[in-house]
Amino acid sequence: MYIETIHSPQALKALSEKELPAVCQELRSALLKKLSEHGGHIGPNLGFVEATVALHYVFDSPSDKIVFDVSHQSYVHKMLTGRMQAFTDPAHYDDVSGYTNPAESSHDMFNVGHTSTSVSLACGLAKGRDLLDQKYNVVAVIGDGSLSGGEAFEGLNNVAEQGTNMIVVVNDNEMSIPENRGGMYRNFKQLRDTQGTAECNFFKSMGLDYVYEDKGNDVEALVEVFRKVKDSDHPIVVHIHTQKGNGYGPAMRNREQFHWGFPFDLASGQCKVQFDGERYEDLTGAYLMEQIRRRPEVVAVTAAMPMTFGFTPAMRVEAGRQFVDVGIAEEHATAFLSGIAKAGGRPVFALNSTFVQRTYDQLTQDLSLNANPAVILIFYNGVYSLNDVTHTGFQDIPMISNIPGITYLSPYTKEEYFAMLDWALLQNKGPVVIRVPEKVVSSGEADTTDYNQTNKYEVVQRGREVAILGLGIFQSQAQQTVNLLQQQGVRATLINPKFVSGVDAALLESLKTDHRLVVTLEDGLVEGGFGAKIAQFYANSSVKVLNRGLPKAFYDRFKTSDLLNEMRLTPELLWADIMSSLQE
Amino acid sequence: MYIETIHSPQALKALSEKELPAVCQELRSALLKKLSEHGGHIGPNLGFVEATVALHYVFDSPSDKIVFDVSHQSYVHKMLTGRMQAFTDPAHYDDVSGYTNPAESSHDMFNVGHTSTSVSLACGLAKGRDLLDQKYNVVAVIGDGSLSGGEAFEGLNNVAEQGTNMIVVVNDNEMSIPENRGGMYRNFKQLRDTQGTAECNFFKSMGLDYVYEDKGNDVEALVEVFRKVKDSDHPIVVHIHTQKGNGYGPAMRNREQFHWGFPFDLASGQCKVQFDGERYEDLTGAYLMEQIRRRPEVVAVTAAMPMTFGFTPAMRVEAGRQFVDVGIAEEHATAFLSGIAKAGGRPVFALNSTFVQRTYDQLTQDLSLNANPAVILIFYNGVYSLNDVTHTGFQDIPMISNIPGITYLSPYTKEEYFAMLDWALLQNKGPVVIRVPEKVVSSGEADTTDYNQTNKYEVVQRGREVAILGLGIFQSQAQQTVNLLQQQGVRATLINPKFVSGVDAALLESLKTDHRLVVTLEDGLVEGGFGAKIAQFYANSSVKVLNRGLPKAFYDRFKTSDLLNEMRLTPELLWADIMSSLQE
């Protein structure tokens, strides 16, 4: 076994080129074993085994700097840079994150998890190098759908201008998460079909030098091409054609499904994790398909993540022109929504909380300022959802709720969620954003709320002394806390605010008469969030306010229950804090 | 005179093609007269007179939809669509905004003021049209530097994919605000040099059909080319080569200076407005040049607006590789900063408050999460600055101060500002953002604050009962209010917080002992802003808090003094409100 001995890139470099295919074979087997047991990004890593080996064989990391886009394809890089055990020993699987991480290794340049950033980050490294009159290679790895994001384009445009050493490895596996979308990809096909010789060349049109390597999973061919560009005195694109999921049949056949996956059976490729019960992904897709069938103006929009709202390949086909995948291009998506709505369409865009951050200006200027009635659904938010630091959904509340003109709704039950969607798809006030809960809770009763009454909170139970406002999924904690208080003889008021973006002034005012304490619970960063609005409302009164949520910080790979305990967001701890506050 | 009779595009269409040059001549003269008396976007409009006339002559607005990028070149469009008086009658100059505005006319599709959005917005209009099975042309006008912004690229990539009628008019005047930056522009030169016949073609590489027209200021040539593409059944780029500032010598010679300008003498082109006293633009540029001379690792970065921090053409030349204009590409700029700082450089990026909105995700993920010590200067913020709804600087506080890991500073005096800059350029904690005040105030005394003490506020005067925290430029209001209170025998505490992004818990805690009221003043949206943090701090105490700033809303062409009065942000009104609160 080679890989047991590779504790650093130096060990790899000591091997002969002829030995590299065997190394790749071992790496791929080890990787597959871990992925099948642990889950993770499958196709992107399997397709990039040879390229990673070739990069480390030719370049001298960490003197030479390699920047991985999204860094979801950096697993082999981690294996080769001192972190092999995290891939071969199940007890150590969780020693490493799923992305590059400077805290793990000096071979990792940045914490990265969003797409389309590597070229700009690498361009900065190269600039820093030049300013200090140093000499090393800077390599940006990008592809796998990431090139369609505007930041990547801005980066490419500036790399040519900068003019000094930089190598941009374009990993062209013909895919994004689903198929690639966009006119640019036709040019990539033309380039593949002509072995890179087509005169019309996107990269050359950006002022960049260019080489093409069709055998992107042939480690020896890659070593040769990387040797040619090493120490280049100018920027150069190395366009390599790879096979997503290479070497593993199920991943090569089902490329979208195997982009990222839970543990699976290695022989069959079958996912080992069974989901019980309802999921908002599926419920939302089914709901929207029904809308699409009835209303020609309804259109579902995704930025390369159709499964976020349950749009299976079959549903995409059925929806036809009423389903649009814009590729990884959230800025475009948001402006596109505004145009569609202006022209009389009814667009619904679903995306992860962490990715809505990419479109702050478009939400403000393109959409909200123009008051066009588009609908945006924010999935994967809060403490019960994704826990990689680059993918947490904790900022959407402070971000969106403070942009003028947006109605931001946070349902607790599925009945509320669909009532909000029904309303949002008919109203003409302006953009409506809905925070999709991580868990499906059903009240069993239709929600008859009139959502035209902006900022009207629901009073679930009217009590006195203390009121608890549990936003969205935290209505559960609020209810349980109210129950605990009840057992101590305190009949608290329970409120389901539903509106994140504004305060119910009449209701809050009325609480002043017989309440001493108002408690807010929100599933996100608490500074500048929902609770802040309540604290501001009561700031100049004698009503005390307790805001609970997450302190402003980055959170990495937390355990939900630990976080809830630490932030005193469990019913028991909330009960204790409320009792103590009431006794002051 | 033709233009007196043109009250709608129909009137223009009634003329013969031969009459159009004379119409253009009249429009240009009228435009120049207004611009010289009123100021505005000069070069962009002068260069686009013929194209606008040709567009309205050929297309049928508002059935056909024309979307202007930034819409700073839409003045002639306004003249031709019923708003001539606002350009010919000085009493009506301010009847129209400087940008397209649906509230003014059905010929204006969107409120637009930021770059690089027109293609995506138009793509949405075309999609809405297609969903409703309607037939009309959708035209996006873009150029003048706007193509380098990532959103434009995302849009172009999707237009090809959409595949139905859309006409993208690329206004290639060889300029951004200063010169164009980026490899793409070399291809544009190649296309101009070959009359659009070069095989390597950026637009074709994006999957788009393409025509070139070199005579972009020849109205008859443009009519011909627009007629050819009208009713196209697929997307097509019309690349027209125009002259920025066309027809006015000074604007053609000094294209950067005449991009936007104050009133000027028509004969000489001399600006009529004299600036007295110091300006932070010049002071910052001089300071940074000094740093650049002394420290090779310092680099000044702009996104096409070098004059924002006073980098004159001569200074850019002197700074050499220590000055980078990335073009209109704020996302790239922020990631680029992170890379530079990671590699040991010391980048300083200056931009308008309204444009920092374009880089929320990059601030969070590329920069702050990686804790790289870059410096960002936020110019043109608050009530004393730009007042077009698309350019107001009111959101930077709620936006930036709630992103984890960023130190956001707000100086009041120039001594504080430069002390903060000195510190920011040496520290290694992470990104530092400084909110540059709109007015230069000098204390005359060196600021010896140790800014390593994060969130340590300055107590200017320790009093009792009431404390006023005046953030940044509003320290002036705070001081004056404290003086008024003093006259009534109330010796208030005056605090200059300096740190926007966090609270001085020790100080705030200490105020609890002898203060009943804490007042915060901030020059921006108050929801989720600085005051919200103070309100949250005291929420569960008996100290009352009064947050003053602007309620969450969009503000268009306000008068500063009116706004300050309306929001009760004058010393007299603050004094009255504080006295009344203390008497409760």
Token pair in block for residue B429: 């904690």
Interface check for A541 against chain B (CB to CB < 8 A): the answer is yes
Model pTM? 0.98
Q: Tell me how far apart the alpha carbons of residues B429 and B157 are, in angstroms, rounded to a whole number.
A: 39
Of A233, A261, A289, the position where a domain reaches its end is A261
pLDDT value for B103: 97
Answer yes or no: are the C-beta atoms of B461 and B482 closer than 8 Å.
yes
Q: How far is A553 from chain B (nearest CA, A)?
A: 5
Task: Compute the average pLDDT of residues B358-367.
Answer: 98
| Of B125, B205, B405, Cβ closest to residue A201 | B205
Q: How far is B364 from chain A (nearest CA, A)?
A: 9
For residue B177, name the pLDDT band (cuts at 50, 70, 90).
Answer: confident
Interface check for A45 against chain B (CB to CB < 8 A): the answer is no
Please list every residue in chain A whose beta carbon sits closer than 8 Å to the beta carbon of residue B152: 150
Asked if residue A256 and residue A284 are part of one domain, the reply reads: no
> Using the beta-carbon criterion (under 8 Å), do A131 and B182 form an inter-chain contact?
no
| Of A111, A133, A581, Cβ closest to residue B540 | A581
Residue type, B577: D
Q: Per-residue b/e over A9-43, b at no fewer than 16 CB within 10 Å?
A: beebeebeeeebeebbebbbebbbebbbeebbbbb
Phi–psi pair at A78, nearest 5 degrees:
-65, -40
Residues 428-467 of B with CB under 8 A from A: none
The helix/strand count (H/E) of chain A reads as 24, 18
Q: How many structural domains is chain B composed of? A: 3
User: Given a cut of 90, is residue B178 above it in pLDDT?
Assistant: no
Asked if residue B318 and residue B241 are part of one domain, the reply reads: no
pLDDT value for A80: 98
pLDDT value for B583: 85
Residue A441 covered by a domain = no
β strands within A231-271, DSSP E: 235-241, 260-261
Task: Provide block-wise average pLDDT over 10 residues at a time, chain A (584 residues).
Answer: 94 97 98 96 96 98 98 97 97 97 98 97 98 98 94 97 97 88 94 98 98 98 98 98 95 92 94 91 98 98 97 98 97 98 98 98 98 98 97 98 98 98 98 98 96 98 98 98 96 98 98 98 98 98 97 98 97 96 85
> Using the beta-carbon criterion (under 8 Å), do B121 and A404 form an inter-chain contact?
no
For residue B329, name the pLDDT band (cuts at 50, 70, 90).
Answer: very high
A24: which residues sit within 8 A by CB, 6+ positions away? A49, A50, A53, A219
β strands within B110-241, DSSP E: 138-143, 166-172, 209-213, 235-241
Nearest CA to B376 out of B462, B434, B324 is that of: B434
Q: Tell me how far apart the alpha carbons of residues B125 and A473 are, in angstroms, rounded to a whole number.
A: 36
Interface check for A358 against chain B (CB to CB < 8 A): the answer is yes
Closest Cα in chain A to B132:
A297
Q: Tell me how far apart the alpha carbons of residues B393 and B383 are, in angstroms, rounded to a whole number.
A: 8
CA A10 from chain centre, in angstroms, equals 34
Residues 186-245 of A with CB under 8 A from B: 186-187, 199-202, 204-208
Q: How far is B363 from chain A (nearest CA, A)?
A: 10
Of B261, B293, B325, the position where a domain reaches its end is B261
Residue A446 covered by a domain = no
Q: Tell me how far apart the alpha carbons of residues B57 and B386 are, in angstroms, rounded to a whole number.
A: 34
Nearest CA to A205 out of B328, B117, B156 is that of: B156
Residue with tokens 């300096």: B498
Asked if residue A285 and residue A216 are part of one domain, the reply reads: no
Please list every residue in chain B whose beta carbon sits closer than 8 Å to the beta carbon of residue A133: 296
Interface check for B474 against chain A (CB to CB < 8 A): the answer is no
Interface check for A75 against chain B (CB to CB < 8 A): the answer is no
Interface check for B156 against chain A (CB to CB < 8 A): the answer is yes
Q: Tell me how far apart the alpha carbons of residues A322 and B423 are, in angstroms, rounded to a whole number.
A: 54
Residue A266 covered by a domain = no
Instruction: State what percent of residues in chain B have pLDDT above 70.
Output: 100
Interface check for A361 against chain B (CB to CB < 8 A): the answer is yes
Q: Tell me how far apart the alpha carbons of residues A341 and A339 are, in angstroms, rounded to a whole number.
A: 5
**Which of A205, A375, A555 is best to mutate for the B interface (most B CBs within 10 A)?**
A205
Residue B267 covered by a domain = no
Nearest CA to B176 out of B269, B50, B52, B260 is that of: B260
Residue with tokens 């900063």: B337
β strands within A6-162, DSSP E: 40-41, 65-68, 138-143
Asked if residue B324 and residue B243 are part of one domain, the reply reads: no
Nearest CA to A125 out of A116, A107, A111, A137 is that of: A137
Asked if residue A377 and residue A286 are part of one domain, the reply reads: yes
Q: Tell me how far apart the alpha carbons of residues A557 and A568 are, in angstroms, rounded to a whole number.
A: 19
> Using the beta-carbon criterion (under 8 Å), do B182 and A157 form an inter-chain contact?
yes
Asked if residue B237 and residue B301 are part of one domain, the reply reads: no
Residue B490 covered by a domain = yes
- On the 0-12 / 13-18 / 19+ scale of CB atoms within 10 A, A439 is middle
The helix/strand count (H/E) of chain B reads as 24, 18
Q: Which helix (H) or strand (E) holds A573?
A: helix A571-582
Please list every residue in chain A whose beta carbon sits closer than 8 Å to the beta carbon of residue B187: 204-207
- In A295-371, alpha helices (H): 313-319, 330-342, 353-356, 360-361
Residue type, A467: A
Of B401, B435, B469, the position where a domain reaches its end is B435
> Using the beta-carbon criterion (under 8 Å), do B183 and A202 form an inter-chain contact?
no
Please list every residue in chain A whose beta carbon sits closer than 8 Å to the beta carbon of residue B525: 402, 404
Asked if residue A230 and residue A199 are part of one domain, the reply reads: yes
Instruction: State what percent of residues in chain B have pLDDT above 90.
Output: 97
Query: Residue A548's domain is classified under what CATH number?
Result: 3.40.50.920
| Of B204, B331, B539, Cβ closest to residue A154 | B331
Asked if residue B482 and residue B413 are part of one domain, the reply reads: no
A347: which residues sit within 8 A by CB, 6+ positions away? A298, A299, A300, A301, A336, A337, A340, A341, A374, A375, B124
Q: Which helix (H) or strand (E) holds A572?
A: helix A571-582
Q: How far is B279 from chain A (nearest CA, A)?
A: 28
Closest Cα in chain B to A64:
B343
Residue A220 covered by a domain = yes
Answer yes or no: are the C-beta atoms of A77 and A45 closer than 8 Å.
no
Asked if residue A463 and residue A420 are part of one domain, the reply reads: no
Residue A497: asked if its preceding bond is cis (omega within 30°), the reply is no
| Of B154, B398, B581, Cβ closest to residue A329 | B154
Interface check for B159 against chain A (CB to CB < 8 A): the answer is yes
Nearest CA to B231 out of B141, B170, B166 is that of: B166
Phi–psi pair at B446, nearest 5 degrees:
-60, 140
pLDDT value for A178: 85
Asked if residue B462 and residue B381 are part of one domain, the reply reads: no
Interface check for B66 against chain A (CB to CB < 8 A): the answer is no
Token pair in block for residue B77: 């469009």
Q: How far is A17 from chain B (nearest CA, A)?
A: 31
Asked if residue A157 and residue A10 are part of one domain, the reply reads: yes
**Which of A108, A194, A336 is best to mutate for the B interface (most B CBs within 10 A)?**
A336
Query: Residue A82's domain is classified under what CATH number?
Result: 3.40.50.970
Which range of residues forms the domain containing residue B377? 280-435
Q: Tell me how far apart the alpha carbons of residues A183 and A205 are, in angstroms, rounded to a whole number.
A: 14
Residue A94 covered by a domain = yes
Query: pLDDT tens digits, residue range A343-367?
Result: 999 999 999 999 999 999 999 999 9
Average pLDDT, chain B: 97
Phi–psi pair at B62, nearest 5 degrees:
-95, 5
User: Given a cut of 80, is residue B234 above it in pLDDT?
Assistant: yes
Interface check for B302 against chain A (CB to CB < 8 A): the answer is no
Token pair in block for residue B206: 């994006």
Residue B274 covered by a domain = no
Q: Which residues pair with A65 in a beta bridge?
A: A138
> Using the beta-carbon criterion (under 8 Å), do A158 and B181 form an inter-chain contact?
yes
pLDDT value for B176: 83
Residue B62: asked if its preceding bond is cis (omega within 30°), the reply is yes
Q: Tell me how far apart the alpha carbons of residues B353 and B333 are, in angstroms, rounded to a whole number.
A: 15
> Using the beta-carbon criterion (under 8 Å), do B526 and A535 form an inter-chain contact?
no
Answer yes or no: are the C-beta atoms of A504 and A518 closer than 8 Å.
no
ipTM over 0.95: yes
- For A330, B541, B577, B579, the CA distances from B584, given in Å and listed in that order, are 50, 17, 11, 9
Residue with tokens 């309204």: B354
Query: pLDDT tens digits, residue range B379-405?
Result: 999 999 999 999 999 999 999 999 999
Answer yes or no: are the C-beta atoms of A171 and A143 closer than 8 Å.
yes
pLDDT value for A217: 98
**B330-342 helix and A150-162 helix, angle to the nearest 10 degrees:** 60
Q: Tell me how far apart the alpha carbons of residues A469 and A453 are, in angstroms, rounded to a whole number.
A: 18
Residues 379-418 of B with CB under 8 A from A: 389-390, 395, 398-399, 401-405
pLDDT value for A584: 75
β strands within A92-148, DSSP E: 138-143
> Using the beta-carbon criterion (under 8 Å), do A360 and B365 form an inter-chain contact?
no
pLDDT value for B275: 81
- On the 0-12 / 13-18 / 19+ scale of CB atoms within 10 A, A122 is buried
Residue with tokens 């006319």: B105
Asked if residue A251 and residue A353 are part of one domain, the reply reads: no
Q: Tell me how far apart the alpha carbons of residues B69 and A65 are, in angstroms, rounded to a whole number.
A: 38
Q: Which residues pair with B525 in a beta bridge?
A: B550
Task: Compute the average pLDDT of residues B130-149.
Answer: 96
| Of B207, B336, B529, Cβ closest to residue A127 | B336
Q: Tell me how far apart the alpha carbons of residues B149 and B143 are, in angstroms, rounded to a whole number.
A: 10
Phi–psi pair at B128, nearest 5 degrees:
-60, -45
Interface check for A527 against chain B (CB to CB < 8 A): the answer is yes
